Structure 1
Amino acid sequence: MKRSILLSTVALSAAFLALPAFAQSQPEATDVPEVVVTATRIPAIVARTPGARVIDALTIHQRGAVFAADILADVPGLSVVRAGAFGGVAQVRMRGATPGKTLVLVDGVPVNDPAEVNGAFDFSGFALSDVERIEVLSGPQSSLWGSDAIGGVIAFTTREIDGVAAEAEAGSYDTLRGRLALGVADQRRALSVQVARFDTDGISAADEADGNPEADGFENTTITLKGRYAVTPAATLDGSLRWSDSRADTDGFPAPTFALADTLDRQTSEQTSGFARLRLDAFGLAHQFSVSAMEIERETISAFPSVFEADRLALRWQADGTALDQRLAYAFGAEREDTSGSLSSGLTEEMGTSSIFGVARFEPSDRLTLTAGLRHDETDDYGGETTGRVSAALDVAGGLILSGAWGTGFKAPSISQAVCDFCFSSQPFPRLRPETAEGVEVALGWASSDGRIEGRATLYRLTVDDQIIYVFDTTTFDSFYDNIDRTRTDGLEVEGRAVLGAGFDLTLAYAWTDARDEADGSRLLRVPEHSGSATLGWTGERFSGALTVRAEGDQDDSGGVREGFVTANLNGSWQVNNQVAITARIENLADEHYQQVLGYGEPGRSAYVGVRLRY
């Protein structure tokens, strides 16, 4: 397996180096507009923004991605930790940072689970059927978004619907998927509703190769309501509401061996999030006044049943403006966020943070862009924290862009950590402090003059101090949370895309991630040192398709080492006419036996066919 990973990595690197010669030999030309990211508070060009990526709706459809976890693994420096396919808890680690240090936004609404041990978001039931674009900001982003953004930010934007759209798909493991969307949209108003359903008998969450034949099913329903109305040319109201309900069969650790095996365990999750916003042009500034909320309830039915409930309310004001003939763009504002959680142990907690922030971008020339941000968060329980970030991008010449950034971050203890859930000690529990981080990165990007080829390589270091971990004393049998860890991640991220001609395009990504505990030099768990992907896409007049190959090296895991793997997915569609398209996809094309998390199974070769309608 190590040899396969090495060969795959060499092949990806060779293909990347060969792109300029191959692509330049194609006669066609193309005009590719600059991609803009908006989760930076001030809209910014991705090529000039260190650590920024955008995954658009076209890419999502080309890959045939159904859930967010299906496509996030292709982002360099981001590892998906999924405890079993089809509904197994799926969390992400960005640049080696533990789950809970990546802030997740849906239409600007923070949706991290306050009652989860680390405050992490579970991507397992997050369907992409209504998602228009995904923005990823790697590295500390607390100066923009406050707590939970040490590793970075993942922001999802849902789409407006104009007309009627429907989709149905069926395939392996008795899987059924459907979507129906209705809406109207014009310059003044928009209103849409979408319903999506996913149902499968699944596979065993515990790896079938270890003698676990029982299939674990998964079902998810997602409903999205979205609206917009321009009251006047200077005032617009918009908002959205998203409800998701999931039920997943899971496996546990039964006695007497307490090893992962087939059980009748299951987990249900219901999450609602939404926002209402007023955009108002007044006093020479563009203002946004918004209120957003989310609530979640998770229940685990097992030998050790549990129920967790949590909610979050955020009030936000932001003002945007420009000066110096638009060479200076800036934004500033204030926020208040309140969270509460109720844990299965009966413990409850309420936490709150008041914040002020500002960010500015200055372009002294057409070639140089300077950006700076500063934020102060005052927590109700853990004092205040000021974070900042500065970055610069220089257009050197010949399509080369040199950029770099330095930033700090922090993360307040989660509710579970704050009340010391599942802690046992005859002594008072330690007083926790917020975790803090410092990140630095430098990137070199290049794009051809015709926009056919682009790529970027990024070197970074991320250091986290006072990391909170769960401590178990084998002598006294005391257990508690404490700030005792310091971690450091050094990494390299390489990514590129080329339009090859004749309808073909190639996208490559590779990450080297050296994430370690500074106390003893050991590697952090569930972070592969090497990972990469390559997608060869093709778009014709009526047919389109994509072949994606993903590879991950060995990674340390609880109880051992999870071996590396190489797997491939094939996706295609045939546009019958303007209204009807037939789709087909094959996952795990080579029927590879692999695990993303040690002990948990992944599907073998599986196939799905469907139809899309649009009127």
Structure 2
Amino acid sequence: MKRSILLSTAALSAAFAAPAFAFDEATQLDDVVITATRISAIVADTPGARVIDAKTIEQRGAVFAADILSDVPGLSVTRTGAFGGLAQVRMRGATPGKTLVLVDGAPVNDAAEPNGAYDFSGFELGDIDRIEVLSGPQSSLWGSDAIGGVISFTTKEIDGLRAEAEAGSYDTVRGRLAAGVANETYAVSAYVSHFDTDGISAADEANGNPEADGFTTTTAGVKGRYAVSDNVKFDGSARWSKSDADMDNGFPVSDNDDTSESEQWSGFARASVEGFGLDHQFSVSTSDIERQTFSAFPSTFKADRQAYRWQANGEAGAATYAFGAEREESEGSISTGDKVSLGTSSVFGTARYEVSDALSITSGLRFDDTDDFGSKTTGRISAAYELTGGFILSGAYGTGFKAPSVSQAVCDFCFSSTPYPTLKPETADSIEVALGWASADGRFDGRATLYRLNVEDQIIYFFNEDTFDIYYDNVDRTRSDGVELEGRALLGAGFDLTLAYAWTDAEDRSTGARLLRVPEHAGSATLGWTGDRISGALTVRAEGDQDDSGGVRDSFVTANLNTAYQLTDQVALTARIENLADERYQQVLGYGEPGRSAYVGVRLRY
């Protein structure tokens, strides 16, 4: 039954393939624009680009980033425990450290994490206005950490008062308050949100683990802008979050008293000045994180990251372009308590040229000079051609690199009787081709993407069976071949259907084994509806079998239902049911997921 549902999802997706999650019944697809490309680009013309807007997040009832990123084809979201467990994203089979995460343009990847990956477990979406996903190597735009791609979050600008409250299963309570004022000259807003739950056992309860593991997280932030004149503008934001989670660890995973605490903040300040025919942006962004684990082997890790950037944007005839320079510095602690610093200086340029009304070409080039691992030049070129009948053919070729992380650079937790190998950056190349289509009336649209991603010199934590030495080394070669299908249909009477499917053949080319925690088949279908007073969405998501540490995690199908009833223009009642069919499943082998759970709430807007 699970296999038939999964294949049905795939077949439906093939019939309606589409390039974005953000739609409006009266808006053509070409109005969906992505900005993480440094120069604004139409999603339909940009291979691997997707946008999830605030309306879609609200319609789906997504509370955390992991709740909705799993519906993006090509993204594999895993978490070790339902509430507060480590949540990471693999893009097109690449390991989590190869996904660059930005919040308002600030890179927030954890420099102290062994692979430099970002933990999405406490990333609450109440303040998020937009999520942009760029799959495939994006090092020509953003440098290191972007071999798999980029996930960019943009926070909201509030005009008025917003409040939400919700309660439900597992003694879960959630609240949010935001207020602000905005006009053409200035805007300022602030928000705070809180989530608390008694949770379930992080270890799979079916294996005799009854202890509930709770999770608490609080997020607060401010955002503002001010226009001194038409030519001089300032803007900035700051975001802070603190989380406490009960954990279960061990081999096999079982109930214990382990806990973790994490605190993170990020922010940016930017000045925009028009001069010499260009729009100049001078920005400083920073992120800081501290993680503590309380267990039989306690640890404390701290990391911070700063980026100093100048970018100039301009137009010349049929060309739109941007160029600039930046300096990025990161510092992270290791197991000894020492701190290690890494840095990179870069110059970059990207441009789009409208060859004709039907054809556009975009290219980018970047030179990164690392303080410790040499220099690297990466590039990307893409093209989009508008065919007759509403079809768009597009394709891209790009390269990427990832410098060793702090832990890898000093070989933290390594043991060797001989000198450790000298590491070099991981490199990647990728090619993809996409065919998109939109009906003349805008009711149907879709896109199918075919890609290959190669990663060379992948760094792994290597065990030498002959000498019993453990160290990092460049030994792995991986390849991911995949197909991504997406679609949307406006069905009338307020109903719409969104479909997504991904086939991912991710392989370790050194051993021939499948890459861990990357399902070969994954898909989702969302039926949404919007009426005068009631709105909502039913989402069904399926994943095939997945190779994991210690075995194979079984396939599963799960469904979520979210609704809202508008009492007045200012007040709405909300309700959602997760795991509608009470499916017993695991996202990661050994870690349980909640059964059927229900939540009700109220939403105020003034």
TM bracket, shorter-chain basis? over 0.9
Whole-Å Cα distance in 1 between the matches of residues 161 and 9 of structure 2? 43
2:166 is aligned with 1:165? no
Specify the alignment match of 2:73 in structure 1: 76
Specify the alignment match of 1:548 in structure 2: 539
Given residue 4 of structure 2, which amino acid in structure 1 is its aligned partner? Answer: L
How many pairs align? 600
Contact 1:12 1:534 in 2 (8 A): no
Whole-Å Cα distance in 2 between the matches of residues 10 and 497 of structure 1? 16
Specify the alignment match of 1:511 in structure 2: 502
- Of 180, 198, 202, the match for 2:177: 180
Contact 1:5 1:552 in 2 (8 A): no
Question: 1:520 Cα shift?
Answer: 1.9
| 1:508-561 deviations in Å (ceiling 9; x for gaps) | 000000000101211000000000000000000010010000000001000000
Question: 1:14 Cα shift?
Answer: 3.9
| 1:133-164 deviations in Å (ceiling 9; x for gaps) | 00000000000000000000000000101111
| 1:464-522 deviations in Å (ceiling 9; x for gaps) | 00000001123322100000000000000000001000100000000000000101211
Whole-Å Cα distance in 1 between the matches of residues 371 and 98 of structure 2? 20
After TM superposition, list the pairs within 5 Å mapping 1:411-422 onto structure 2: 411-422=402-413
- Of 5, 11, 15, the match for 1:17: 15
2:335 is aligned with 1:344? yes
Whole-Å Cα distance in 1 between the matches of residues 25 and 120 of structure 2? 39
2:362 is aligned with 1:364? no
Given residue 366 of structure 1, which amino acid in structure 2 is its aligned partner? Answer: D
2:296 is aligned with 1:298? no
Question: 1:11 Cα shift?
Answer: 4.6
2:28 is aligned with 1:32? yes
Question: 1:29 Cα shift?
Answer: 7.8
SS in 1 for 2:97: coil
Question: 1:64 Cα shift?
Answer: 0.2
2:262 is aligned with 1:262? no
Whole-Å Cα distance in 2 between the matches of residues 604 and 163 of structure 1? 37
Question: 1:347 Cα shift?
Answer: 3.3
Given residue 8 of structure 1, which amino acid in structure 2 is its aligned partner? Answer: L
SS in 2 for 1:202: coil
| 1:316-343 deviations in Å (ceiling 9; x for gaps) | 000000011xx20000000000101112
Given residue 46 of structure 1, which amino acid in structure 2 is its aligned partner? Answer: V
Given residue 265 of structure 2, which amino acid in structure 1 is its aligned partner? Answer: T
Contact 2:13 2:486 in 1 (8 A): no
2:279 is aligned with 1:289? no
SS in 2 for 1:443: strand
SS in 2 for 1:303: coil
Whole-Å Cα distance in 1 between the matches of residues 246 and 548 of structure 2? 23
Are residues 570 and 431 of structure 1, via their aligned partners in 2, closer, same or farther at CA, if it must alter by over 3 Å?
A: same
Whole-Å Cα distance in 1 between the matches of residues 314 and 561 of structure 2? 46
Contact 1:464 1:487 in 2 (8 A): yes
Whole-Å Cα distance in 1 between the matches of residues 463 and 258 of structure 2? 26
After TM superposition, list the pairs within 5 Å mapping 1:380-399 onto structure 2: 380-399=371-390
Are residues 11 and 275 of structure 1, via their aligned partners in 2, closer, same or farther at CA, if it must alter by over 3 Å?
A: closer
- TM-score, normalising length: structure 2: 0.98
Contact 1:454 1:497 in 2 (8 A): yes
Whole-Å Cα distance in 2 between the matches of residues 188 and 350 of structure 1? 40
After TM superposition, list the pairs within 5 Å mapping 1:194-343 onto structure 2: 194-253=191-250, 258-324=251-317, 327-343=318-334
SS in 1 for 2:387: strand
SS in 2 for 1:173: helix
Given residue 9 of structure 1, which amino acid in structure 2 is its aligned partner? Answer: L
| 1:278-298 deviations in Å (ceiling 9; x for gaps) | 011111000100001111000
Are residues 112 and 74 of structure 1, via their aligned partners in 2, closer, same or farther at CA, if it must alter by over 3 Å?
A: same
Specify the alignment match of 2:21 in structure 1: none
Given residue 323 of structure 2, which amino acid in structure 1 is its aligned partner? Answer: F
Contact 1:5 1:566 in 2 (8 A): no
| 1:74-114 deviations in Å (ceiling 9; x for gaps) | 00000001111110000000000001100000000000000
| 1:552-610 deviations in Å (ceiling 9; x for gaps) | 00010000000010000000000111110000000000000000000000000000000
Contact 2:13 2:500 in 1 (8 A): no
Specify the alignment match of 1:104 in structure 2: 101
Specify the alignment match of 1:47 in structure 2: 44
- Of 455, 458, 470, the match for 1:464: 455
SS in 1 for 2:8: helix
- Of 570, 595, 602, the match for 1:604: 595
Specify the alignment match of 1:529 in structure 2: 520
SS in 2 for 1:418: helix
Whole-Å Cα distance in 2 between the matches of residues 224 and 593 of structure 1? 37
Whole-Å Cα distance in 2 between the matches of residues 361 and 139 of structure 1? 18
Whole-Å Cα distance in 2 between the matches of residues 484 and 190 of structure 1? 51
After TM superposition, list the pairs within 5 Å mapping 1:470-489 onto structure 2: 470-489=461-480
- TM-score, normalising length: structure 1: 0.96
RMSD: 1.3
Specify the alignment match of 1:24 in structure 2: none
Given residue 124 of structure 1, which amino acid in structure 2 is its aligned partner? Answer: S
Whole-Å Cα distance in 2 between the matches of residues 8 and 273 of structure 1? 39
Given residue 3 of structure 2, which amino acid in structure 1 is its aligned partner? Answer: I
- Of 566, 572, 585, the match for 1:575: 566
Are residues 94 and 262 of structure 1, via their aligned partners in 2, closer, same or farther at CA, if it must alter by over 3 Å?
A: same
Specify the alignment match of 1:25 in structure 2: none
Question: 1:17 Cα shift?
Answer: 2.9
Given residue 35 of structure 2, which amino acid in structure 1 is its aligned partner? Answer: T
Task: Name stretches of at least 5 consecutive residues in structure 2 with no aligned partner.
Answer: 19-23
Question: 1:13 Cα shift?
Answer: 1.3
Given residue 293 of structure 1, which amino acid in structure 2 is its aligned partner? Answer: T
2:437 is aligned with 1:446? yes
Question: 1:350 Cα shift?
Answer: 0.5
Given residue 28 of structure 2, which amino acid in structure 1 is its aligned partner? Answer: V
SS in 2 for 1:216: coil
Given residue 521 of structure 1, which amino acid in structure 2 is its aligned partner? Answer: G
- Of 138, 141, 152, the match for 1:141: 138
Q: Which moved more, 1:5-14 or 1:68-77?
A: 5-14
Contact 2:102 2:150 in 1 (8 A): yes
| 1:300-325 deviations in Å (ceiling 9; x for gaps) | 0001111000001110000000011x
Specify the alignment match of 2:487 in structure 1: 496
